[in-house]
Amino acid sequence: MRKREFHTRGFMLVAGARFGAPTSQPLTPTLRNSLARRANDAGQQLFELALMLPVLAILLVGGIEFGELAYAAIEVSNAAKAAVQYGAQNRATAVDTTGMQNAAQQDASYFLTTLTVTVAAPPSCICSNSSGSASPCSSISCTSPAHVEQILTVTTQATFSPSPYLPLLGKTFTLNGSAIQKVLDN
């Protein structure tokens, strides 16, 4: 069986010998050149890192901005949901446009200052036993035992401006949300 030899710091180590115990055999010229090349590679690696660091920084900032944009889009959608849930409590809250706008504003996060809430007026209605399309409530009549169900539609819109402007991304984004729900019969 052949012994494995390792070269380091100008001395040869033999596998199985006490680690770090130097032997009397010096490094060969080929191995010495190999170690010198490794020292030069460290400078090349530092140079490559210096070249790639700005690219990595831009990717990091772009990822953060994309995350903020996705969060803002979810907030706009959730604000519409909060408004329609407030309005769908009963027939009295279904016509409370101010209450629905306040519910949406309270649900929106702090950086969505330009949130616009629009409630579809008049609300549409549908018969409880129908799978057809909704129509204005004044023109619908249902046969018994069905009853009229009121449908509430709320849309929200907000503009989002990324905090550090990146030339590849837009300066502002328009985000839209929408929610539809039946009004409870209370």
119 Cβ partners below 8 Å, 6+ apart? 83, 87, 97, 100, 101, 152, 153, 154
Nearest Cα to 59, choosing from 146, 172, 169, 135? 169
CB 158 within 8 A of CB 116: yes
CB 100 within 8 A of CB 119: yes
How distant, in Å, are the alpha carbons of 59, 128, 137, 139, 151 from that of 143? 61, 10, 15, 14, 18
Peptide bond into 122 cis (omega under 30): yes
Tell me the pLDDT of the chain (186 aa) as tens digits.
Answer: 455 554 555 555 455 555 555 555 566 767 666 666 666 666 778 888 889 999 999 888 888 888 888 888 999 999 999 999 998 888 888 888 899 999 998 888 766 778 888 888 777 777 777 766 777 776 677 777 777 788 888 999 998 887 777 676 678 888 999 998 888 765
pLDDT at 49: 87
CB 149 within 8 A of CB 108: no
Distance from C-alpha of 112 to C-alpha of 157, rounded to nearest angstrom: 10
Peptide bond into 22 cis (omega under 30): no
How distant, in Å, are the alpha carbons of 21, 54, 117, 119, 176 from that of 99? 83, 48, 11, 11, 20
